[in-house]
Structure 1
Amino acid sequence: MATPMTSRPKDLFYFLFSAMFTTSMVFMDLIPLWPKAILPQVLKDNHTWYLTTFNDQLMIKFEPWFAAFLAVEALYQLPTTIWFLSAIPSENPKFPARALTYASISFLTTLTSCWAIWKDGDMTEMQKYILLGFYAPFAGIFGFMAMDMSCRIQAKMAPKAVKGKKRV
């Protein structure tokens, strides 16, 4: 029987983050990948407002590397994040390994995006700071999650000390 998430604060955070991030992916990040014919007008308007307001050059220029990152987000991160919504509450034993892979990939793609924003010459300093305020917390969360999952996996793999014998 699973331990209540209220007694597992990190897991509760990962669950709430996954629920929020799933929504964010579908209705913000992945808009450029939606077929235009089925994209609701409200999402088109929201995307246009975002681009005009924040001048996000990653979305505007849509370089091949960034398009590849969005493909990874759509084909790997989105299904994995949805899976987390059932895996975390049930304490699925596969969660730490899958979350380590997910968080590592997400950290690297988000960190790369932050670097591209910082180095972009078509944004003002203020626009860069605002966009980094959107992107960087995700990099921090993914980095923390990767370290946490690595520690969880290591703890399960570490040999147990035998009474009276020292571990090597």
Structure 2
Amino acid sequence: MAPKPLTSRPLDLIYVIFFVVHLVISLSIDLLPLWPAWAQNFPGLNLVYRLLMDVVEDYKTKSNDPFILATWNLVKHDWEFYFMKVFMVMEVLIQIPAFIIGTYGLRKNTPLVYPLLLCYASAALVTTTTVFFVSVNLPSANDTSLDATSKFYALTDEGRRTILGPIIPFLLIPAVMWVDMLIRVTSLVSAGIQKTATAGKTGKKEL
């Protein structure tokens, strides 16, 4: 039996679009600091690297995003943003596989991917919520009483909007997915328990 088309499953369609967009961003921007030296200088790839670096540099200039600074080892003290290194590892080991497997599984409409997507949504909520609340609470560049370290991380109003604007969908969609997948997984577990109980009762009657 052919799976129901994605167009008849609006949430799954949103998840697939989100995964594809996020995968492109992850591979092109988020993991750019991990590009090896040979890839940065390889003919053809070096042009792609420079183009992506221009995007990163433009974003850094407009936002002073401390998370981008941390991934490029440009913060004042490495230990201040060690959690960003952990988040990058989580992106490689959890999020990117979830994007690929999740896209395939949702297109096939298989419930086997629900537990994985629940794990992804949980990880994404932790990382994105952390970034969101830190960004909201970073000092303002308009504050003239800041010390040197605070000034280094201070954000203009425009810079804060530049950081927070894209975060909203990356926070809302995993939140919806977490609730949705928890309901789906719970429903499958309940159905399995009920089926097992029914089979047990039937077996007892036959005896």
Q: TM-score, normalization: structure 1? A: 0.87
Match of 1:30 in 2: 31
CA distance in 2, matches of 1:77, 1:61: 19
Q: Is the counterpart of residue 128 in structure 1 residue 160 in structure 2? A: yes
Q: 1:26-66 CA distances to partner (integer Å, 9 max, x unpaired)?
A: 11222222224424211122111111122111111342101
Unaligned 5+ residue runs, structure 2? Answer: 41-48, 72-80, 140-153, 195-207
Identity %: 28
- 1:89 is paired with a residue of what secondary structure? helix
CA distance in 2, matches of 1:95, 1:158: 17
Poorly superposed stretches of 4+, deviation over 3 Å:
none
Q: Is the counterpart of residue 91 in structure 1 residue 105 in structure 2? A: no
The within-5 A match list for 1:64-103 is 64-103=82-121
CA distance in 1, matches of 2:59, 2:15: 26
Contact residue 62 and residue 162 of structure 2 kept, 8 A: no
Amino acid at match of 2:90: V
- 2:110 is paired with a residue of what secondary structure? coil
The within-5 A match list for 1:140-159 is 140-158=172-190
The partner residue of 2:52 within 39, 43, 47 is: 43
Amino acid at match of 1:135: I
Q: Which has the higher helix share?
A: 2
Amino acid at match of 2:155: M
Structure (1 or 2) with the larger CA radius of gyration = 2
Call closer, same or farther: CA 1:47–1:130 in 2, change over 3 Å. closer
Q: TM-score, normalization: structure 2? A: 0.72
Match of 1:164 in 2: none
Match of 1:57 in 2: 66
CA distance in 1, matches of 2:54, 2:165: 22
The partner residue of 2:126 within 80, 98, 108 is: 108
CA distance in 2, matches of 1:155, 1:56: 41
Give me the CA root mean square deviation. 1.9
Q: How many residues align?
A: 162
Point out the more displaced range, 34-43 or 62-71.
34-43
